[in-house]
Chains A and B, each alone.
Chain A
Amino acid sequence: MIKVDEKGFYGKFGGAYIPEMLHPNVEELRENYEAIMASKEFQDEFRGLLKDYVGRPTPLYFASRLSEKYGAKVYLKREDLCHTGAHKVNNTIGQIILAKKLGKKRIIAETGAGQHGVATATVCALMGMECTVYMGEIDIARQHPNVERMKILGATVVPATSGSKTLKDATNEAMRAWINNPVDTHYIIGSVVGPHPYPEMVARFQSVISEEIKWQLKEKEGRENPDIVIACVGGGSNAAGAFYHYYNTPEVRLVAAEAGGLGVNSGKTAATTAKGTPGILHGSKTILMQTEDGQVVEPHSISAGLDYPGIGPVHAHLFDVGRGEFVAVEDKDAMAAGVELSKLEGIIPAIESAHALYALNLIEYSKDDIIVVNLSGRGDKDLETYIKWGKY
């Protein structure tokens, strides 16, 4: 049974390894999130915004030309059609309503490529809340349009100049900012990472993805369960959402595509389960890439959204107990898969999502199989990377 326990563990992974200064904040959240999320008032507002503001349900699209090419029935769950261009907004909508109910006045967030930062700045504008986003100095330079999008939306973008100046350091900075502002501030973590209850809370907000897949597939195929669900995993929020209602349905195979970077053994990779070992990162026990001495190693992926040295504890557990099939997709193969989908279906995917698409080449299936690929985001933000790549 894949389920978080009372202490916040999925099997061996999870928990809340945080300095005492964060304990009151995290405890406040842990004590309240379930009751708030279960209330009718919350659900009405959350569901209402997902429908009218985000544009849900997102289509479950039968990709006929892709299906023909791969010899299976391939469906795409179109999270790329969400407002702001990716699944990230499902979570930020949920958390901002929660923050309001907790009486918080300010929002902080971390961002890597800027997608979660944009989704956070968006909902802060929607709710009229002050928003500060921490972003690695290096990411600010390479994701400039998203920085400006956040600013247009009224957010303050603070460069994280510590450590390697990327996503993991932006996360550290956001945690430090939370320590410095514990009373009036809510920290919207963007993935299924961090101390309990974040991984479970974020997964539940994202679980709308698999909730919709179930009834949409029932309408189209007469069955709720596909044979395979494929999603990319950085921290793993879109995968957690796409897998959530299938965790305990063993006949549905769950495939997680990690970023292989320049190759799993190249030293330039973000394939966490392939290269990582158990340890603690950003408040939870999980699998992470680290040195023998326990120092966190800087990952590499062409996709900024997958460029993270750990994975959410629930994914570490899926890996550990063999419930998930983990594959590593290299930069070049993800790019090729992104171009392929563009030509075959007229959809330019985010490079993160292109990793999930390429996994079709790495796993076994038969021609009658129904496969759902979670298309977590659109490729607009990656245009520059596609152009630089050039092979199209």
Chain B
Amino acid sequence: MNRIHTLFNTKKERVLSIYFTAGFPELESTMEIMEAIQAGGADIIEIGVPYSDPVADGPTIQDSNMIALENGISLKKIFEQLKGFRAKIRIPVVMMGYLNPIMQYGMEEFCKKCKEVGVDGLILPDLPMQQFIDDYKALFEEYGLVNTFLISPQTSEKRIREIDQNTNGFIYMVSSHSITGAKAGISEEQIAYFERVKAMNLKNPRLIGFGISDAETFSKASEYSNGAIIGSAFIKTVKGSKNLNEDIQKYLKSVVE
């Protein structure tokens, strides 16, 4: 069984997913960060594949992408770094990246490599649902990769249902009208949206992301979903860290406790 399904079968609440940018802060930070995320008590690791033009991301993740690319990261390099990672990492791992670098690598080759190294799922934010159904769904299934789509407060109920039908990992609920890292805190308006989606009884688990940064926002988001995703706040933690392992664990403990 896919590790993501196993996770949500056993853990229904306060699931914590952590996004980090591969190749940041140092080219070879990838494994150290992944081990620290697991040791710190997170449930899912999202490996961000850097891209020169990340349109859905705010300044923090943009910067980490730029620095990672300057460090010399590439998909090829990421797969080299991930070789054998399953000897150390037991929690689910998802790759998150914009479509263009993956297309240049080759979608089939990419899926094949993901399976080979032990990646469980994919989040491709600029892959439209219809394109996924037409071109890639069968491929994802062939290589045992679950997929995740995003929804936002503007997504219609009809489309949320369609997305739910075509997702088999989890639904990524973008918390507000925003790019990543945009604002802290959770408003009444956002809670109304969380409740609206919760009441839809979707078949997939839901994780809330964008604007989640600390114990308070994590707990609040978890009240209305199966858990949450932290990205920008985590990137801020690793940026300039002198001791990645220690700082990451300390940060994660502050979030989950």
Contacts and interface: CB of A to CB of B under 8 A. Distances in A.
A binds B: yes
Interface of A: 7, 15-21, 23-25, 162-163, 168-169, 172, 175-176, 179-183, 277, 279-283, 290, 292-296
A17 B128 contact: yes
A23 B125 CA distance: 11
B190 interface: no
B125 A295 contact: no
A20 B174 contact: yes
B194 interface: no
Nearest to A18: B126
Contacts of A21: 56, 150, 152, 154, 174, 177, 179
Nearest to B134: A7
A16 B128 CA distance: 7
Contacts of A7: 130
A18 B128 CA distance: 7
A179 B52 contact: no
B55 interface: yes
Nearest to B156: A24
Interface of B: 51-59, 62, 66, 69, 74-76, 98-105, 125-128, 130-131, 149-152, 154-156, 159, 163, 174, 177-179, 182
Q: Which A-B residue pairs are the 3 nearest by beta carbons?
A: A294-B104, A294-B101, A24-B154
A88 to B, nearest CB: 23
B247 to A, nearest CB: 26
B147 to A, nearest CB: 13
A373 to B, nearest CB: 33
B149 A20 contact: yes
Contacts, number: 112
A293 B104 contact: yes
Contact of A180 (B130, B131, B163, B182): B182
A176 B53 contact: no
B1 to A, nearest CB: 27
Contact of B99 (A20, A172, A280, A282): A280
A180 B153 CA distance: 11
20 contacts: A15-B131, A17-B128, A18-B126, A19-B56, A19-B150, A20-B150, A24-B155, A162-B59, A163-B53, A176-B56, A176-B58, A176-B179, A279-B100, A279-B104, A283-B126, A293-B105, A294-B75, A295-B51, A295-B69, A296-B100
Given A24-B154, A162-B59, A290 B104 contact: yes
B75 A293 contact: yes
Contacts of A290: 100, 104
Contacts of B102: 294
A23 B159 contact: yes
B55 A292 contact: no
A331 to B, nearest CB: 24
B51 A176 contact: no
Contact of B125 (A19, A169, A282): A19
Nearest to B105: A294
B56 A280 contact: no
A19 B159 contact: no
A293 B128 contact: no
Contacts of B127: 17
B100 A280 contact: yes
Contact of B155 (A20, A172, A292, A293): A20
Contacts of B62: 162-163
Nearest to A169: B53
Contacts of B156: 24
B163 to A, nearest CB: 8
A180 B151 contact: no
Nearest to A285: B103
Given A20-B152, A20-B155, A295-B101, A180 B126 contact: no
B77 to A, nearest CB: 9
Contacts of B101: 293-295
A19 B55 contact: yes
Nearest to B76: A293
Given A17-B99, A23-B155, A176-B58, A168 B174 contact: no
A15 B128 contact: yes
A280 B177 contact: no
A175 B99 CA distance: 16
Contacts of B66: 162-163
B105 A179 contact: no
Contacts of B174: 20-21
B52 to A, nearest CB: 4
Nearest to B163: A20
A228 B250 CA distance: 68
A172 B53 CA distance: 7
A279 B150 contact: no
Contacts of B125: 19-20
B182 to A, nearest CB: 7
Contacts of A179: 55-56, 177-179
Contacts of B177: 21, 179-183
A15 B75 CA distance: 25
Contacts of B152: 20-21, 24, 182
Nearest to B66: A163
Max chain A Cβ within 10 angstroms of own Cβ: one of B54, B125, B128, B182: B128
Nearest to A173: B55
A293 B50 CA distance: 10
A195 to B, nearest CB: 9
A295 B74 CA distance: 9
A150 to B, nearest CB: 23
Contact of B126 (A25, A169, A280): A280
